[in-house]
Amino acid sequence: IMKIIKKAQSGSFESSDIIVLIEPVAENTGRNIEIDSSVMLEFGDSIEKLITNKLDEYTITDIHLIVKDKGALEPTINARLETAIMRACDLQKGTL
C-alpha cells in the first residue's frame, strides 16, 4: 500500500496535456477525485477508469486528486498520474 504523504503535481495546462494535483488526506477518508476536462462528455468515463485503475495498481485508497485535462491521450494521462503519485509518496524528486 502506497501512502500519499505530501502535495505533488505533474503535467501542464497546455493543449493535449493534463495537470494532475495530489493532496494527502486523513486515513480512511477515501478517494476524492475531481475531473475537469475539455473532452468530458466524450471521454470522461475513460479518464475516470484510467485514474481508478492507476490508483488500484498502487493500492492508494486515501487521496484528494484534482485533474485538469486539455485533451491528453491515454499514455500521457498514465505518465502524469504515475509521476504525481511517485512525487506525492516521496519516491521521486521533482518540482511542486
Helix (H, G, I), strand (E, B) or coil at 63: strand
The 10 Å CB-count burial string (b at 16+, else e) for 59-75 is: ebbbbbbebbbbebeee
Q: Is residue 26 part of a domain?
A: yes
Q: By residue range, what is the domain housing residue 22?
A: 8-88
User: Residue 88 has which C-alpha cell?
Assistant: 506525492
pLDDT band at 93 (very low <50, low <70, confident <90, very high): low
The helix (run of H) or strand (run of E) holding residue 47 is helix 40-57
CATH number at residue 18: 3.30.230.10
pTM: 0.92
For 12-35, how does the pLDDT look when each residue is reduced to its tens digit (9 = 90+)? 999 999 999 999 999 999 999 999
Q: Is residue 2 part of a domain?
A: no
